[in-house]
Structure 1
Amino acid sequence: MLKCREVTELGSEIIDRRLSFRTRLAVLAHLSLCPHCRLYLRQLRLTAETLQRLPPEEEPKATAIFEAIRRRQDGPKD
């Protein structure tokens, strides 16, 4: 039987249904006994669904932040 760590490492594959038949059976067996992993996968699915519904940004916020930092670093020096 799979351990919790193995199930969480397979999280994306579980949600995207990219598991072999054998692995899928092992995951289902584990989930039938582990409420913690069921909750984890439910939260992971909800997060993935929420992110898919967000409108795409023209420029990722992280990129804008890094650009602002770079401009400050390249700014006038005393």
Structure 2
Amino acid sequence: MLSCKDLVMHSSDLLDGRLSFRRQLAVRTHLAICWKCRRFIRQLRMAQQVIRALPEDPIPNVDALAQNLAERQRGGG
């Protein structure tokens, strides 16, 4: 039987679909009985979805913003 610590160690591989059949069975068996680990995996999946939904360039025109900040620091803005 997998411990909670073991599940955490394999959680990334679980989400990425890189577990062997045997390990996947052990993880799913553990998740069937452990509500804390189910919640943990659910939170990881949610975080993964949020990260994937972020835009590739979260700060558009970062060079222009950096230049504007530099000008303000020099007293030019």
What's the C-alpha RMSD, in Å, of the aligned pairs?
A: 1.4
Count of aligned pairs = 59
Aligned to 2:27: 27
What aligned pairs does 1:1-78 form with structure 2 within 5 A after superposition?
1-57=1-57
Percentage identity across paired residues of the two chains: 41
CA distance in 1, matches of 2:39, 2:29: 15
Shift in Å at residue 58 of structure 1?
7.1
Give the alignment's TM-score, normalised by structure 1.
0.71
CA distance in 1, matches of 2:28, 2:11: 13
Question: Deviations 1:17-67 (Å, cap 9, x if unpaired)?
Answer: 1100000000011001100000000000000011001001278xxxxxxxx
State the structure with bigger RCO (CA 8 A, min sep 6), 1 or 2: 1
Please list every run of 5 or more consecutive structure 1 residues that lacks an aligned counterpart in the other structure. 60-78
Aligned to 2:62: none
Please list every run of 5 or more consecutive structure 2 residues that lacks an aligned counterpart in the other structure. 60-77
Task: Select the structure of larger CA radius of gyration.
Answer: 2
Runs of at least 4 residues of structure 1 off by over 4 A? Answer: none
